[in-house]
Chains A and B, each alone.
Chain A
């Protein structure tokens, strides 16, 4: 019994110690924003270890700081009932607007939007706002296919350099691409990237492999290694971990990254990265919510709004003249003289595309409902913000389509 007593005493003392020594340390964490603060909630699928979510989290903090709004960020929220619960809790804590960042969050955001009509719900990458008809539910995306196209130009320039140096022959100019799922967002991404590359390097071809997950470092690394072993001389990816960039760095294969620069981990192979900058959208939507103005059901940021960004080019790896070539194409994309999905630049099953019904409205039938070819180009992100380009163009080989 004496032992127990002494133990209890010792513990009490340690406890008292912790109390006295830290009592003055952490009191400022709760305060800071005062009473006036408008609150914005953010729901993220993963945390800052995922390049995709980090891109959102950084934008959320930047936008809220700029506007003097308090940000409440919930990370590691799965695409299930937890998303609804998180949204409802954010409403409870007084958020006037709530953002979610992952495709699978959409249904749960809609559910919350129906329950809390006085709060604005904004979902990035979603597809249902224009058909759901709720005043307080909105989708947003950016014309990232333009960014991919520009990044593709950097890839094409690199391929040309490798051909000129004699490292590879022209018909060995094969790109590898690690994708997550086989749906439009990814298809649109790799196709625009490929078209950008082929606009500079005519002999370019591409192999695509899918992981069936947005974030699976092992699978992404394995996929990248498989592509490299299969003769791909340059890689890019649309999945959120460091798997593919790391595999490239290990194998010494140049990589065009996504979501942000990977130059720190991959100084020898990183060329450039395209990413969506969410700050313009967050500022637009939060200000609209603060002022009680309507937010567009579908908002598409582009090169002009600053939503589509390229990171700094890694001069050590990129071919000479890359920056100039990108600037030139960028100007043309902005003034409209260049279209990414110009139907004269690609074929499907050997034929040019003159008419195509894309599945713009999400319904169980998965059928095309809107003709999206106008003025000789596939009009991506015009009829809704999220991409709907899902054509399989010639020159790209899908190694596995199980997802």
Chain B
């Protein structure tokens, strides 16, 4: 049908790729998209729950930033999501689709918990923290190294491979939870070393999350520099653009893939360490809480720009915190918050299309300036 029509007349809408839209314009488009999303959200709020959208929005804001504690919790959540997004980014720049962030984080968390449980009373706390740290990074790195080697040596499909490694990790953690659970049969490990606090990241001042945030700031800056200014970062970009070009200019593609994936998995493992040692002090199969997947979206939305990722993770964390606040304050189900978030993300992703492509309608001869 389509083919037939094409012969007879021009289609109603034609697409053409835009020449680079300047930054100011593209950012004003994005701002407009968010505004439009808020309007649509507002209409939905009015129609579905008959409430004032501004009440809802301000409650969401208070949920994320209303008290010092809330700000710290928001910052902690933001840091963890950002860290995982950053961990995935070098692989994506290389066009290696690492969907295994969740599993890599979980394995890092597992290694951390393992050390806390078996070495908690054997090592002094400084050394214990260091051992946990190294173990988490090594195990997270290994979890990414395995699919990387298979990809580099035998060209296996990394999307499937990394995805399936998540399930292996979840099952492994589930197995150890049954080993460690307390009391037996309850399916809960509970807080590890609650009495001794062995292997807990120390509190800075009165705030337990300050150190978590601090670590992530360092990694963020480090990754930005690494990708932008280092030789490795450049090699990653070249491999991502074209493996043939890379080979031609003498870059060992296999080596870059494996090296980058170890880095990616290692940082994921580091995130696992931060979650267990700095925040949760326990291990569950859902410890990563889907951040290994949300991180993919953050990384993409930011177009692999580390600094923009801060904004993207902030938005997602803010919406999450806000959603649970409106659930508490207005008795709205948390799913309602998810609907609002979904709409905003839909608009944000949608606007990228209009930034990259221009629409030509049949009658208007594509002249107008948008």
Interface residues of A (CB under 8 A from B): 1-4, 7-8, 11, 14-15, 18-19, 21-23, 25-27, 29, 47-48, 72-76, 78-81, 85, 88-89, 92, 103-104, 106-108, 110-111, 127, 180-184, 186-187, 212-213, 359, 362, 364, 366, 390, 402-403
29 contacts between A and B (CB under 8 A): A1-B369, A22-B54, A25-B52, A27-B52, A73-B328, A73-B331, A74-B327, A75-B328, A75-B333, A76-B327, A78-B286, A78-B289, A79-B188, A80-B287, A85-B69, A89-B70, A89-B73, A104-B187, A104-B190, A106-B190, A180-B187, A181-B187, A183-B184, A183-B185, A183-B187, A184-B185, A187-B185, A364-B182, A390-B185
New A-B pairs, 9, CB < 8 Å, besides A11-B35, A79-B188, A110-B194: A4-B370, A11-B32, A18-B39, A27-B52, A74-B328, A75-B327, A76-B324, A107-B191, A183-B183
Q: B93 interface residue, CB < 8 Å from A? A: no
Whether B333 and A103, one on each chain, are in contact in the complex, defined by CB atoms closer than 8 angstroms, is no
Most buried by B among A7, A11, A81: A81
Min distance, Cβ B191 to any Cβ of chain A, angstroms = 4
Alpha-carbon separation in the docked complex, A110 to B54 (Å): 37
Chain B residues whose CB sits within 8 angstroms of the CB of A103 once the complex forms: 186, 188
- In whole angstroms, what is the CA distance A27 to B51 when docked? 9
CB <8 Å contact, B333 and A18 = no
Whether A23 and B52, one on each chain, are in contact in the complex, defined by CB atoms closer than 8 angstroms, is: yes
The distance in angstroms between the C-alpha atoms of A180 and B187, with both chains bound, is 9
Whether A47 lies near B334 (C-beta < 8 A) is yes
Of chain A, the residue at the smallest CB distance from B25 is A4
Q: What separation, in Å, do the CA atoms of A110 and B369 have in the docked complex?
A: 63
B16 within 8 A of A: no
Tell whether B36 is near chain A: CB-to-CB under 8 Å. Answer: yes
Interface flag for B55 (CB, 8 Å): yes
In the complex, whether B339 has a CB less than 8 A from a CB of chain A is no
Give A47 to B327 CA distance when docked, in angstroms: 10
Are B28 and A72 in contact, CB atoms less than 8 angstroms apart?
A: no
Contact (Cβ within 8 A) A81 B281 = yes
B297 CB, min distance to chain A CBs, angstroms: 21
In the docked arrangement, what's the CA distance between A304 and B188, Å?
32
Across the A-B interface, the 7 shortest Cβ-Cβ residue pairs: A183-B185, A26-B52, A107-B191, A182-B185, A22-B52, A81-B280, A104-B188
Report how far A267 CA is from B235 CA in the complex, Å. Answer: 66
| Cross-chain contact B39 with A14 (CB below 8 angstroms) | yes
A90 and chain B: residue at smallest CB distance: B328
A11 and B186: CB pair below 8 A?
A: no
Which of B36, B42, B43, B334 touches A75 (beta carbons < 8 Å)? Answer: B334
B324 pairs with A85, CB closer than 8 A: no
Q: Does B284 contact A (CB under 8 A)?
A: yes
Contact B187 A212 (CB under 8 A): yes
Q: Is the CB of B178 within 8 A of A403?
A: yes
Q: Which residue of B lies closest to A186 (CB)?
A: B185
Alpha-carbon distance between A260 and B333 when the two chains are bound, in angstroms: 21
The answer on a CB contact under 8 Å between B39 and A403 is no
B159 within 8 A of A: no
Q: In chain B, residues 36-53, which have Cβ atoms closer than 8 Å to a Cβ of chain A?
A: 36, 39, 42-43, 46, 50-53
* Cβ A26 vs Cβ B178 within 8 A: no
- Chain A residues contacting B188 (CB-CB under 8 Å) are 79, 103-104
Tell me whether B51 and A26 are in contact (CB under 8 A). Answer: yes
Interface residues of B in 194-214 (CB under 8 A from A): 194
Max chain A C-beta neighbours (<10 A), residue from B46, B67, B183, B281: B183
Whether the pair A107, B282 counts as a contact (CB closer than 8 A) is yes
Q: Which residue of A lies closest to B117 (CB)?
A: A364
- Contact status A18-B53, CB under 8 Å: yes
B280–A80 touching, CB < 8 Å: yes
Assembled-state Cα–Cα distance A29/B326 (Å) = 12
Q: Looking at the assembled complex, report how far the CB atom of B197 sits from the nearest CB atom of chain A, in whole angstroms.
A: 10
Chain B stretch 173-187: residues in CB contact (< 8 A) with chain A: 178, 182-187
- Complex formed: what's the CA distance from A285 to B42 in Å? 40
B329 contacts across to A, CB distance below 8 A: 29
Interface assignment of B279: CB less than 8 Å from any CB of chain A:
yes
Residue B226 is within 8 A (CB to CB) of chain A in the complex:
no
Q: Chain A: which residue is nearest B42 at the CB level?
A: A18
A15–B7 Cα distance when bound, in Å, is 44
Closest-by-CB residue of B relative to A46 is B334
Q: Does B234 contact A (CB under 8 A)?
A: no
- Residue-wise, chain B 309-346 has the 8 Å CB interface mask toward A (1 for contact) of 00000000000000010011111011000000000000
What A residues does B333 contact at CB under 8 A? 47-48, 75
List residues of chain A with CB within 8 A of the CB of B280: 80-81
Other-chain residue from A4, A187, A212 in contact with B28 (beta carbon distance below 8 A):
A4
Nearest opposing residue in chain B for A73, CB measure = B328
Q: Which residue of A26, A27, A181 is within 8 Å of B186 (Cβ)?
A: A181
- B194 contacts which chain A residues (CB < 8 A)? 107, 110-111
Please, which residues of chain B bring their CB within 8 A of the CB of A7?
A: 32
